[in-house]
A and B are shown apart, each in its own frame.
With several copies, the nearest count.
Chain A
């Protein structure tokens, strides 16, 4: 079971990637996936306090369960306009 993780802007630059495929386990939530990702990539830790999460293009609580094939986006504070 896998999900796609999308990275943007400052986070993509720090990660050196815009898209990752991550394995998930039964019972995973946005928070558990995020914690695993940050453990693997310490360069992302400094962004964590202000990150939001979108699951399949919808802002979600970090308690939301993730499903195989989902797309999880890490959303740093937006600054469009």
Chain B
């Protein structure tokens, strides 16, 4: 199971190779990519911060849960940090499985969970300012009172 938080460029072919298996009939990849706009504002670039060791730990927990829930053969989860330009890949996921449905459902679930609980943060930088984004789906926006 390939799990990594890195400042290096993410390479889809590495993630694909990591999940390949003779029993796999489907491989799904997801690339989260830096978009040139968000909520009607032009984005110049993004800056990602992370708590790398905990992020890798949580990514591994999510990947193991996805494997068990969706019957995946293997999965890979990589997140990039630092400054990312428009078009660059911030999140890279690969899953392998026997049949196609699990590749789509498992991949979708993985991305949803990553956005909830992996300690990574993005700052949007515009021509005229910048802002750290608080993910609307994050656990921090909906955790129980006992965690406050």
Listed in ascending order, the chain A residues whose CB lies under 8 Å from chain B are: 6, 8-10, 12-13, 49-54, 57, 59-63, 73, 75-81
Q: Are A78 and B146 in contact (CB-based, < 8 A)?
A: no
B22 CB → nearest A CB, Å: 18
Chain B residue nearest to A73 (CB atoms) is B51
- Within 8 Å by CB of A73, from B100, B119, B121, B143, lies B119
| Chain A positions within 8 Å of B91 at CB level | 80-81
Cβ of A52 and Cβ of B118 under 8 Å apart?
Answer: no
Residue of A nearest to B140 (CB): A77
Assess the A79–B51 pair: CB atoms within 8 A: no
**A-B CB contact pairs (8 Å), 29 listed:** A9-B49, A10-B121, A10-B132, A50-B140, A51-B148, A52-B140, A53-B147, A54-B119, A57-B53, A59-B147, A60-B147, A61-B147, A62-B146, A62-B148, A73-B51, A75-B51, A77-B134, A78-B116, A78-B118, A78-B120, A80-B48, A80-B55, A80-B90, A80-B114, A80-B115, A80-B122, A80-B135, A81-B100, A81-B114
